């Protein structure tokens, strides 16, 4: 059993939770946009002060490692590494897509009433702009069927998977795919947003296996290179 601080900043949601043995003790989050630089450290401080909990008693810090928002990931990982240095605690990296896939597969009844013995595939999607998403497929046990990839969604996306099984699509990138993925086996159920709660079980599993990151060298999993854009009103004419 471990007490783990979980930090999720891979999307527009800024979320922190404190969990014991994979179960939520306290949760604080906001989905008001990419204000992570202002909110994250405040949320962490409030989480402990409001609940009279000593941060020194935690056993580890878990952080979403991506893919997702470049800026959000940098902020979350930087804060997590700083806490681990200061508190001398181990660091656990949790894939953003893996956390969503594992949680929904293990708690499918929260989102979809499956028939007894129904074999589903679970497809979390994180928005990567335009018609592209970060995604992977997971089985009923929450195990990855393929690697996390950046997929451009069109009318043929997941066609072979949908021929044989129902696929549950969810996450903040799923809604924009409804018009392209129209097969009768395509289900758009499940959570729209990321949250630190989804990380907790995987963080506990990794802690018990001592699967820790090197705090000095750990970097987020961006999947794609960061491309800076110039706002239209800044372009010289």
114 alpha carbon, distance to own chain's centre: 24
- pLDDT tens digits, residue range 83-126? 999 999 999 999 999 999 999 999 999 999 877 768 899 999 99
Share of the chain above pLDDT 70, in %: 94
User: Which residue is associated with the tokens 């706002």?
Assistant: 231
Whether residues 8 and 92 share a domain: the answer is yes
Q: Are residues 122 and 75 in the same domain?
A: no
Sorting pLDDT into bands at 50, 70 and 90, what band is 230? very low
pLDDT confidence bin for 227, thresholds 50/70/90:
very low
- Clarify whether residues 92 and 10 are in a common domain: yes
pLDDT tens string 154-195: 999 999 999 989 999 999 999 999 999 999 999 999 999 999
**pLDDT for residue 63 is more than 70:** yes
CATH number at residue 61: 3.30.420.40
Residue 232 scores a pLDDT above 50: no
Percent of the chain past pLDDT 90, that is, above it, reads 88
Instruction: Give the CATH number for residue 106.
Output: 3.30.420
Instruction: Kindly state whether residues 89 and 198 are assigned to the same domain.
Output: yes
Q: Quick one: average pLDDT of 209-234?
A: 76
Residue 51 in this model has a pLDDT that exceeds 60: yes
Domain hosting residue 35, numbered range? 3-96+194-231
Higher pLDDT, 181 or 225: 181
Q: Do 130 and 212 share a structural domain?
A: no
Question: Do 34 and 77 lie in a common domain?
Answer: yes
Q: Domain total for the chain?
A: 2
Q: Which of 82-86, 112-116, 130-134, 140-144 has the lowest mean pLDDT?
A: 112-116
Say yes or no to pLDDT of 18 above 60: yes
> Nearest Cα to 190, choosing from 143, 121, 144, 89?
121
Residue 217: predicted pLDDT: 96
Any idea which residue has 């499918």 for tokens? 108
> 75 lies in a domain?
yes
* Residue entry with tokens 């854009």: 229
d(CA 30, CA 35): 9
Q: What is the per-residue pLDDT for 118?
A: 81
Residue 104 CB: number of other CB atoms within 10 A? 25
Query: What is the per-residue pLDDT for 114?
Result: 78
């Amino acid at each position: 059993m471990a007490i783990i601080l979980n930090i999720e900043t891979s999307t527009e949601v800024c979320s922190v939770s404190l969990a014991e043995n994979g179960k939520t003790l306290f949760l604080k989050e906001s989905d008001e946009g990419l204000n992570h630089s202002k909110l994250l450290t405040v949320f962490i401080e409030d989480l402990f002060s409001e609940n009279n909990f000593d941060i020194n008693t935690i056993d580890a810090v878990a952080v979403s490692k991506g893919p997702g928002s470049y800026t959000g990931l940098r902020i979350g990982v930087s804060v997590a590494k700083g806490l681990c240095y200061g508190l001398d605690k181990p660091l656990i990296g949790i894939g953003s897509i893996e956390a969503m896939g594992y949680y929904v597969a293990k708690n499918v009844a929260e989102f979809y009433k499956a028939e007894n013995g129904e074999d589903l595939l679970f497809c979390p999607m994180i928005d990567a702009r335009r018609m592209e998403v970060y995604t992977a497929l997971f089985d009923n046990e929450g195990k990855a069927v393929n690697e996390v990839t950046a997929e451009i969604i069109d009318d043929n996306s997941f066609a072979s998977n949908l021929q044989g099984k129902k696929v549950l699509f969810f996450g903040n990138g799923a809604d924009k795919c409804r018009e392209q993925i129209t097969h009768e086996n395509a289900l758009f159920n499940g959570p729209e947003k990321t949250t630190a709660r989804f990380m907790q079980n995987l963080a506990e599993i990794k802690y018990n296996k001592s699967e820790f990151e090197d705090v000095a060298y750990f970097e987020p999993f961006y999947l794609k290179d960061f491309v800076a854009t110039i706002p239209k009103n800044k372009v010289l004419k």
